[in-house]
Structure 1
Amino acid sequence: MPAARSGPADRTPIPLSVLTGFLGAGKTTLLNRLVADEGMADTALIINEFGEVGIDHLLVETANEDIVEMSSGCLCCTISGDLIRTLEDLVARRDAGEIRHFSRVVIETTGLADPAPVLHTIMNHNYLVYRYRLASVVTVVDAVNGMATLDAHAEAVKQAAMADRLVLTKTDLLGEGGSDGLDALKARLRELNPAAPMLDAARGEAVADRLFDAGLYDPEAKTPDVVRWLAAEAYDGNGHHEHEHEHDHGHDPNRHDEHIRAFCITTDQPIRATSLELFMELLRLQHGNGLLRLKGIVLLEEEPERPVVIHAVQHVFHPPIRLGQWPGDGARLTRLVCITRDVEKSQIEGLLEAFTDRLTDGGAAFRDMTLSLRPGGGR
């Protein structure tokens, strides 16, 4: 294909979204609708196997042995070898003009997949961090079987808890009296993930622009839209979501959900840049396995007018992003939005206080707390 198709190489980080959902949730149907969406015209879609997604009728040209072009303008490819190699190869071919230019990537995971390893890859690989920017995690939830799936499969719980957008499918298949079950499912999802908007696919709400422009990276402004991304207003002061209505969830309270916590920590106490690094390292060491997602904007002592955005998935922290000014109303507050498994708000809050308390030596706090993690308390 002619190199002229790509034009000058664009090194702006490419927004990348992850589309997940448990087996049978309806990802195939959603993808079929999305590839026909005008908002997907400049998107590269990475899926596991072409045979698993019924989009063959939309393929019009083979760019090479593993990349195809669709009539909608999308590119589509399989994961060849591993995800890192696929993403590196995709952007290299775009730069060389071998394939159509794209400005967004969507990765569809398998139904049984824990989304964390994919996010780890995107956030922790030096070259991928330079060329891509995580934009959103979209999780598809079956409205008919969703409650039973959440009861039976821990992976489904993690998929819902880590999402930036929740897409409800098959709501049109709910029978008489189905609204009660749907309300209970929505309430349960709100407990798992208070901040994620819920979109109804059957009503046409799950369109590309609403799914994949979640706010961490705004391709128009070329800056993180932290206000939309954090959505900290979805949490009350006690770390619980305020429901408009009370529902009887109708599920076994001893199945999975009691492990998931969703809360926001806020403080007006600044933290030194070096102490922030120590805080994140200790948080990774002590609670990494249970830190499903952490999003935050941090007030630095050295440069209070320039906050830092942090993002973590389990034990992997994305390189911090320094902003030129405070977003939104400009209030200078550290805000950490946390989705955790078996980690209480007080545990993370206590760590943060240890590094923001002016009477505490952050280095000593790190040393003492790290020693306490060793067998026998390090003594």
Structure 2
Amino acid sequence: MTVVTGFLGAGKTTLIRAALAHPSAARTAVIVNEFADAGIDDVLLRTAALDVTLIGNGCICCAARSDLNRALRALYADRERGAVPPFDRVVVETSGVSEPAPVLQSFAADRTVTGSYALEGLVTVVDSVLAARTQSQASIWSEQVALADRIILTKADLVLPAGGAEVRALVGALNPQAEIADAADVRDVPGFLFGAPGRSRSGFACTPQAATPGVAPYDSFVLTFDAAFDWATFMRIMDALSAARSEDLLRVKGLVNVRGCDGPVVVHHVQHLAAPPEELAAWPPAGDSADRRTRLVFITRGLSRQKVAALFAAHLDLQPGEAAGSDRGPVMRAG
């Protein structure tokens, strides 16, 4: 499942419609999560005003105006009993004024849903023309950008090159870990929007940076560990972090090297909630071999990299120098 968010008028529906026309987007279900009494986006995506509708290219669309998780459960049940064609992925288009964190929290908290769907990522669509103005007027915009795995810039052709560079700098300061692309460059590449296999999960080895002071109250950083984790130890650390600072732990995602597992374990945490871990069959390739280090991306509010690193160090009995890490992120040797 991929969640597509973005402020009002950013162009979410236009991008999804274009992507669905691509052959590789077949077997996709789309849920339009509108909260008004009458939605428009689902009408644009669908060919008829039914709750669940075939929209061509082997794709399905349904509207969920109240409970997203209920819609996910119902759609999966319809798939299992053959009431709708089989699908391999679900794209959820949120309302333009939706905060992404509650959507991810709701997903992680529902064991029935997480037993049927795996969260691939959060994609945020940003209007290049109105980005700076919207940031100053709506705090939700900053959260949508800060929590994204990938960011797509629309209407770049309507701003001068200098303006486009300013928008990239703005969203890059809020979220230095996200991959940023112009809509014109990915309109014919549905994998960027929907998530190609391994795309977001192989992209966790990033250079740690902090959001520019004064831009937004978010920090984004990466912790890297050489030694494999005992799973119980890893969960004990995350439980301690969540118990102490859950409100400031906006998002944690990453690949964990767990003793006894052939591939990495994919983890997603949103504040005090955690989606079920998913073990991949093998590590994504990195050059001529696989990088088997644990890589954890943290997006926090008022919770520094140093404090999180210190907590890991305390539980892993690391030396202070090891917990501090280098410029590329703390390489913590637990072995």
Q: Distance in 2 between matches of 1:48 and 1:69?
A: 17
Equivalent residue for 2:105? Answer: 120
Q: Distance in 1 between matches of 2:45 and 2:99?
A: 30
Q: Distance in 2 between matches of 1:234 and 1:184?
A: 22
Equivalent residue for 1:273? Answer: 231
Asked if residue 43 in structure 1 is aligned to residue 43 in structure 2, the reply is no
Instruction: Read off the aligned partner of 1:185 and give its amino acid letter.
Output: V
Equivalent residue for 1:150? Answer: 135
1:141 Cα deviation after fit: 0.1
1:311 Cα deviation after fit: 1.7
Q: Distance in 2 between matches of 1:344 and 1:358?
A: 18
Pick from 46, 49, 58: which aligns with 1:73?
58
Instruction: Give per-residue Cα distances to partners, 1:225-273, cap 9 Å, x unaligned.
Output: 3x8425234314xx359xxxxxxx9xxx63xx34111111123355433
Asked if residue 229 in structure 1 is aligned to residue 201 in structure 2, the reply is yes
Local SS of the residue matching 1:59:
coil
Contact 2:121 2:200 in 1 (8 A): no
Equivalent residue for 1:184? Answer: 166
Q: Distance in 2 between matches of 1:39 and 1:182?
A: 30
1:299 Cα deviation after fit: 3.9
Q: Aligned in 2, Cα 1:47/1:349: closer, same or farther, shift over 3 Å?
A: same
Pick from 264, 272, 276: which aligns with 1:319?
276
Q: Distance in 2 between matches of 1:57 and 1:108?
A: 11
Instruction: Read off the aligned partner of 2:47 and give its amino acid letter.
Output: L
Q: Aligned in 2, Cα 1:331/1:234: closer, same or farther, shift over 3 Å?
A: closer
Pick from 255, 268, 287: which aligns with 1:297?
255
Equivalent residue for 1:193? Answer: 175
Pick from 245, 248, 253: which aligns with 1:287?
245
1:322 Cα deviation after fit: 3.6
Equivalent residue for 2:266? Answer: 309
Contact 1:143 1:185 in 2 (8 A): yes
Query: How do 1:88-107 residues align onto structure 2 when only pairs under 5 Å count?
Result: 88-107=73-92
Local SS of the residue matching 1:348:
helix
Select the structure of larger CA radius of gyration. 1
Instruction: Give per-residue Cα distances to partners, 1:132-190, cap 9 Å, x unaligned.
Output: 0111211100000011212222211111111122111111222xxx2112101101211
Contact 1:292 1:340 in 2 (8 A): yes
Contact 1:161 1:292 in 2 (8 A): no
Q: Distance in 1 between matches of 2:317 and 2:262?
A: 20
Q: Aligned in 2, Cα 1:27/1:321: closer, same or farther, shift over 3 Å?
A: closer
Local SS of the residue matching 2:120:
strand
Contact 2:11 2:154 in 1 (8 A): yes
More moved, 278-287 vs 29-38: 29-38
Instruction: Read off the aligned partner of 1:35 and give its amino acid letter.
Output: L
Asked if residue 109 in structure 1 is aligned to residue 94 in structure 2, the reply is yes
Asked if residue 345 in structure 1 is aligned to residue 305 in structure 2, the reply is yes
Instruction: Read off the aligned partner of 2:308 and give its amino acid letter.
Output: I
Contact 2:32 2:42 in 1 (8 A): no
Local SS of the residue matching 1:259:
coil
Instruction: Read off the aligned partner of 2:177 and give its amino acid letter.
Output: A
Q: Distance in 1 between matches of 2:292 and 2:154?
A: 39
1:206 Cα deviation after fit: 6.0
Equivalent residue for 1:368? Answer: none
Structure 2: segments with no counterpart, 5+ residues: 320-335
Q: Distance in 2 between matches of 1:332 and 1:206?
A: 32
Instruction: Read off the aligned partner of 1:356 and give its amino acid letter.
Output: L
Instruction: Give per-residue Cα distances to partners, 1:265-318, cap 9 Å, x unaligned.
Output: 123355433222211111112222222221223344x54866533221222112
With the length of structure 1 as denominator, give the TM-score of the two structures.
0.74
Contact 1:298 1:334 in 2 (8 A): yes
Pick from 220, 227, 231: which aligns with 1:262?
220
Contact 1:270 1:356 in 2 (8 A): no
Local SS of the residue matching 2:129:
coil
Q: Distance in 1 between matches of 2:136 and 2:161?
A: 19
Pick from 37, 46, 53: which aligns with 2:41?
53
With the length of structure 2 as denominator, give the TM-score of the two structures.
0.83
Q: Aligned in 2, Cα 1:240/1:59: closer, same or farther, shift over 3 Å?
A: same
Asked if residue 169 in structure 1 is aligned to residue 137 in structure 2, the reply is no
Contact 2:263 2:280 in 1 (8 A): yes
Local SS of the residue matching 2:152:
strand
Q: Distance in 2 between matches of 1:57 and 1:78?
A: 10
Q: Distance in 2 between matches of 1:182 and 1:107?
A: 27
